[in-house]
Amino acid sequence: MEAQPRLYADDLAMCVLCGGCKAVCPTYDEELSESMGARGRVRLIRELNAGRLRPSEELNERLFSCILCGACSGACPLGVHIPEAICKGRGMLSGSDKKRKHVRSLLKIATRWPDPAFRAIRMAKHIVLPFLFRHGMIPFVPELPDAPFRRSEQVLRVNRRRGRVAVFTGCSVNYVFPHFGESLLNVLRRFGYEVILPKGETCCGAPLRNLGLEKEAADRALKNYRVFSRLKVDAILSLCPTCTHSLRIDYPRLIGKGLDRAMDISVFFADILDKTSSIMKSAVYHDPCHLRYNLSVRQEPRDIIKRAGLDLLSADDSGCCGFGGPFSLSFKDLSVSLRKRQAERLSNSGADVVVTSCPGCILQLGQEITDRPVLHLIELIEEAYCLRTEQPSLLVV
């Protein structure tokens, strides 16, 4: 039987305020203010929990300024799960948080009826997207595809079947980067995997939880659990580490059961891809926070890049891209500052191409790095194993 996650109140009680978490917190590093760092936030939630602090605008700002990157938890000698406590704290504050009220309303609607919401936005994109951007409800105006990636239930069969996997598409791939999804299907099928895209997938719940909407996040979690837990598959693959983290780690906290077959594509492909040498370029890898800190996946994507024949260079001390979903809306300056720092570290490596595993990081870093490609790992795999037939190379800007 799997160990049950500890309750966040027990975690808060354990904290001895040593400050180990503060040392690795990217927002503390930028602001150098105790209440804008991990230890300060833990203390604030403890006071809020005990009724010694009341909800206020200032308290909201401190708790919502966390990126939920997870760097702090790994640094805590007592294993306090700080992002979990912060999500709970946000839940307690959400009623008093006027600044993000409209984003919350929009998100509740968009995650309940995602396809109609996408179609409505798509139809009036020249009006709606600039409006949402002007009113701080999206961090930038994205390019939208003509249609979502997932349209209906699909089972993609192969001739000589090596295995069977399900794909958890996630909203960013479904509505912003459908070509990442196409690349994943292409690679899986070429390597002999039957793929199922089940009917009924919905938002993983992370953006809702991020805003303190625990009840709504649990509702989406339960829907996804019902859809994916009944499938007879070897793995549930996602191209977004935030989705994978939700399915595996957050669902047991939200609904008492998780999808433990959910995994990042780099873990799945680690033993499947042979060595090839089709690409004579250098690359640098950007670690998405949820993959690195919360799912402890660091080596697998790097091994794949090397096996794909690229020269893997290292960047000075890998950092956060500063996206963090709603964080980039509420704390624009801080988000841009983190983004610039990380883009500079990656660019200074001198690599021909930047590779990462998260659509959010690609959106964020792609605004800063324009002189070389910023690719998802699945695009690199598709190109390196010569599976992109008759399409231009992705390795030139």
Q: Which residues bind ligand SF4 (CB under 6 A)?
A: 15-21, 24-27, 38-39, 41-42, 66-72, 76, 78, 80, 82-83
- The half-sphere exposure of 132 on its side-chain side, counting CA atoms within 13 A, is 20
Hey, how many other C-beta atoms are within 10 angstroms of the C-beta on 245? 26
Q: How far apart are CA 212 and CA 89, in angstroms?
A: 8
Q: Which is nearer to ligand SF4, 69 or 262 (CB)?
A: 69
* Residue 36 beta carbon to ligand SF4: minimum distance, rounded to whole angstroms: 9
Q: Residue 183, class by beta-carbon neighbours within 10 Å (0-12 exposed, 13-18 middle, 19+ buried)? A: buried
CA angle (119 as vertex; 113, 124 as ends), nearest 5: 125
* Residue 204 beta carbon to ligand SF4: minimum distance, rounded to whole angstroms: 18
Q: Which is nearer to ligand SF4, 80 or 374 (CB)?
A: 80
The amino acid sitting at 200 is G
Quick one: tokens of 71?
Answer: 């760097």
Q: Which is nearer to ligand SF4, 72 or 304 (CB)?
A: 72
Instruction: Select from 382, 293, 295 the least CA-distant residue to 24.
Output: 293
* Residue 19 beta carbon to ligand SF4: minimum distance, rounded to whole angstroms: 5
Q: Which is nearer to ligand SF4, 186 or 335 (CB)?
A: 335
* Residue 20 beta carbon to ligand SF4: minimum distance, rounded to whole angstroms: 4
SS3 311: strand
* Residue 352 beta carbon to ligand SF4: minimum distance, rounded to whole angstroms: 30
Q: How far apart are CA 27 and CA 251, in angstroms?
A: 26
Q: Which is nearer to ligand SF4, 65 or 244 (CB)?
A: 65
* Residue 335 beta carbon to ligand SF4: minimum distance, rounded to whole angstroms: 11
Q: How far apart are CA 267 and CA 286, in angstroms?
A: 16
* Residue 337 beta carbon to ligand SF4: minimum distance, rounded to whole angstroms: 13
Q: Which is nearer to ligand SF4, 132 or 217 (CB)?
A: 217
Q: Which is nearer to ligand SF4, 69 or 247 (CB)?
A: 69
* Residue 238 beta carbon to ligand SF4: minimum distance, rounded to whole angstroms: 21
SS3 320: coil
Instruction: Select from 69, 6, 362, 38 the least CA-distant residue to 242.
Output: 69
Q: Which is nearer to ligand SF4, 55 or 74 (CB)?
A: 74
How big is the chain, counted in residues?
Answer: 397
Cα dihedral angle (117, 119, 122, 125), rounded to 10 degrees? -50
Cα dihedral angle (177, 388, 365, 117), rounded to 10 degrees? 0
